[in-house]
Amino acid sequence: MVELIPSLEPRNLLPPLLACLPTAFVSSQPPPALLPLLSPIIRQRVKIFTTVSASPTDSWLRLLCWDSASAERLQSLVDGASFEPHPVSGEIDLPDEIPVRYKRVDEETLQSQVQLPEYSLKVIYVWCPEDQEGGGPAWRVAEVLPQDSSVGEDGAWSISIGEANVHQSNLRAAGNDSQTFKANTQSNGKEAQEEEDDDDYWAQYDATPGRTPGVKTPAPKGVSSLQQSDADYYSQYDDVQPAMDNHDPEEEQPEIGPSSLNGDMLARLLQRQVSGSGAESSAHPAEHPASAAMNGDYAMSLNHPRPSSISSGSSDPVAKLEQEAENQSAYEVGVKQHISSNLKSLFRLAKATGMSRSDFQALVKTELELLNLSDGE
């Protein structure tokens, strides 16, 4: 929904404002009738600075414009002007024709300007659609300036609100076209730069010498020869060891050559120990038949060796007693270590609770004495 903004009526808005300006030299606080006439931001500015002002002589008239130089000029102009009301109506007289100009700053801001040559002043108003504190939507004072001030003259003013809107639309369209042209120019320049970079990149390959760098491992002879037949080329791979082949000819061990050792030397030595015929074996070591070591009884003795013992029916009693004594000694050592470890743990526990070493020793001694009594019973 388009908002309908009425034209500014200077004869209704200017008299209350001009009547409040001379009071700035009488009171450091603005009159209550002035605040509803101001725009929200100027109203807040006047309220804050007049409340926290360090000097009571500071005039609130300076707060009606943002430029400090214009504020000093405004105060001197108001001080030298005469704002006398009409004797009949009681209002300040205004000229018959008061020109009003409009300017659309953006989509939400519409300003109007009123020139007062009789007082060398100009008042800039702004349309406030949501000003509940000021009494609802209306034109509010945005700034009071000297007439010769250049503030607010940074744009074209129109004689009507419609012309101001059209002018802003034309400016916006021109700005969009300018931004589009600028974006297209940057995009084209970027594309041209990218194409130039691509040309430089591929030109490096044209400047590369026409030779192939040397490789550490030479290629098969068949690869570099174009005249070699396919059969000769693929025959080279017959000597290649496949990765999944477990049989590697290079891992084969060479056959054992002739040796001066006799194969039955170990058998003859064992037979010598069993049969006890050492003299015969030493007299004829090389002439002993190999088949003599492989008879039935001797083969069984080699396959099933049995430990020698004093009696085949029962174990050695002396060895059994020695084993029991050894086991008993090991048990005693384990028990002693267990008792020692428990006593050390009990002492650490007693020490952690604050018990002294003498008290702990007395407690252990008492328990040992009680054990003696219980054993006596």
The C-alpha atoms of residue 147 and residue 155 are separated, in whole angstroms, by 16
Q: How far is the C-alpha of 182 from the C-alpha of 106, rounded, in Å?
A: 22
Tell me how far apart the alpha carbons of residues 272 and 308 are, in angstroms, rounded to a whole number. 17
Distance CA 109, CA 328 (A): 109
DSSP 75-101: HHHHHH---PBPTTT-SB---S---EE
What distance in Å separates the CA atoms of residue 301 and residue 220, rounded to the nearest whole number?
Answer: 63
Domain boundaries, the chain: 10-159
Question: Which residue has better confidence, 301 or 62?
Answer: 62
Position 181 scores a pLDDT of 63
d(Cα 58, Cα 28) in Å, to the nearest integer? 7
Work out the widest C-alpha separation in the chain, in whole angstroms. Answer: 170
- Say if strands 100-104 and 121-128 run parallel, antiparallel, or are unpaired: unpaired
- pLDDT of 211 reads 52
Residue 278: per-residue pLDDT: 44
* Digit-coded pLDDT (tens) for 116-129: 988 899 999 999 99
For the packed helices 296-303 and 265-275, what is the interaxial angle rounded to 10 degrees? 100
> DSSP of 243-311, one letter per residue?
TT----GGGPPPPP---SS-TTHHHHHHHHHHH--HHHHHHSSSSS-GGGGGSHHHHHHHHS-----S-
Q: Which two tokens stand for residue 167?
A: 């002018």
End-to-end Cα distance, the chain: 115
Long-range contacts of residues 259-262, Cβ cutoff 8 Å, at least 24 apart: 262/286
Give whichever of 52-61, 233-242, 292-301, 358-367 has the largest mean pLDDT: 358-367
Per-residue pLDDT tens digits for 174-207: 766 556 666 667 777 777 778 777 777 877 776 6
pTM of the model: 0.47
Where do we find the tokens 């109203």? Answer: 43
Cβ neighbours around 111 below 10 Å, total: 21
Percent of the chain with pLDDT over 70: 66
pLDDT tens readout for residues 66-114: 988 899 899 899 988 887 776 666 678 788 888 899 999 888 889 999 9
pLDDT of residue 46: 92
Q: Is 210 helix (H, G, I), strand (E, B) or coil?
A: coil
| Residues paired with residue 140 on neighbouring β-strands, in sequence order | 126
> Strand, coil or helix: what is 136?
coil
pLDDT(370) > 80: yes
What span, in angstroms and rounded, lies between the C-alpha atoms of 32 and 133? 13
Residue 271 and residue 280: Cα distance in Å, rounded? 11
pLDDT (mean) for 4-29: 89
Tens of pLDDT along 278-328?
A: 444 444 444 444 444 444 454 454 444 555 444 444 457 778 877 777 777
